[in-house]
Structure 1
Amino acid sequence: MCLAGQRRRFVIDEHNAKVLRFLLYYFNNCHLAEQIFPDEGHKLEKHILLMGEVGTGKTLMMQIFSEYLRYTNNPNFFHNVSVTQMVNYYTIHNNIDRYTYNEENSVGFQCKPVNLCLNDIGVENRPFYGIDTKTIVNDFLHARNEIWTMTAPDRRKFAHLTTNLDVEKLKKEFDDGFGRLADRFKTYNVLYLTGASRR
């Protein structure tokens, strides 16, 4: 679905096979997902945090699953967006509501958040019209954590992430002085894609 236009095929190998198996079970609410990496404490109730070096296929993998879930009318469908898209939205609207509470589509004070995956967090931090990328992503992470914790488990909306940073760099990048954001990464199933760039 995603590589046909490039005349390329998706390669499954020792670097991504277990992650793919986990995600297939996970997005279909199958508890077998929790057995793929038995020592990691992964749960269906947690978000996905997909980590790996540049070019290992993180964004493409999430694009593939987004399309697969849309095609199969799966309620776990998520929108796949980049930090750049979210920053551009902020530049136009002076808020990131579409990616957090989605209150512009609310009815009777009921916000309408959606499942999404924010790609490439922590990669670049540059100023946009008086605010920097890191501040916008921080606001996103805080809001999405609030949405996740304040919603009944059967109605939760997920905010998956991809990043080139490892866990320690990610904690350092999003250190808020109180340890809140670093602690909230515990609500993610951390998955690693290894190997060289596939580009």
Structure 2
Amino acid sequence: MSRTVVSLFDHSGRFTAPWAAAGYTCYCVDTQHPPGETWQGNVCLIGDVRRFVPRPGPVAFVAAFPPCTDLSNAGAHLFKVKGLRRLAAALDLVGAAADFCERVGAPYFIENPRGQLRHYWREPDYQFDPCEYAGWLPAEVQDQKANTKRTCLWTGHGFQMPEKRPVFPVLGSMVDKVPGSKNRANLRSLTPRGFSAAVFHTHHADL
């Protein structure tokens, strides 16, 4: 049984947290990490996905969160200002993630909000809001994650969409509620903890 998980474009390590807690070796690949390999227990922080080659052996799961700043419909009014080069660069990162996922052969998802991928690639396989999976969290923190932020998934190699455990979205939409700062993109792209837990329990049980 493989005990290795790869998470691409993952600065926070939030997705790998339940896997790491269960003893898996986790690779979090993001250009914001320092060069080389930085180990924190059984979690390895690595730089550019286009230069990352996992160690020999099977991989249990791959997640990918390509930057969405130049792909999301939320920024559509700025597309003409940003120009084709920013769009092309964003699509290249998605392509690198898709190539990696197909090459590894493990169950995977590639995450992005509603945006340009449906035009330049294909329609997503699944869509969800964080509140639909907040019920996987302990009861005392569910309301902290009870929000909407429509998220799309492109999946393959036997990925199973987890069972929903919805809670009422008392927080409403979080799309425009993250305050402006140099860390805003990272905060907006944080993986919902409930969804991370649901994916882990679904696929760890299969493994």
Q: Give me the TM-score of the superposition, normalised by structure 1.
A: 0.34
Higher relative CO (Cα under 8 Å, sequence separation at least 6) belongs to: 1
Q: Give me the TM-score of the superposition, normalised by structure 2.
A: 0.33
Greater share of strand: 2
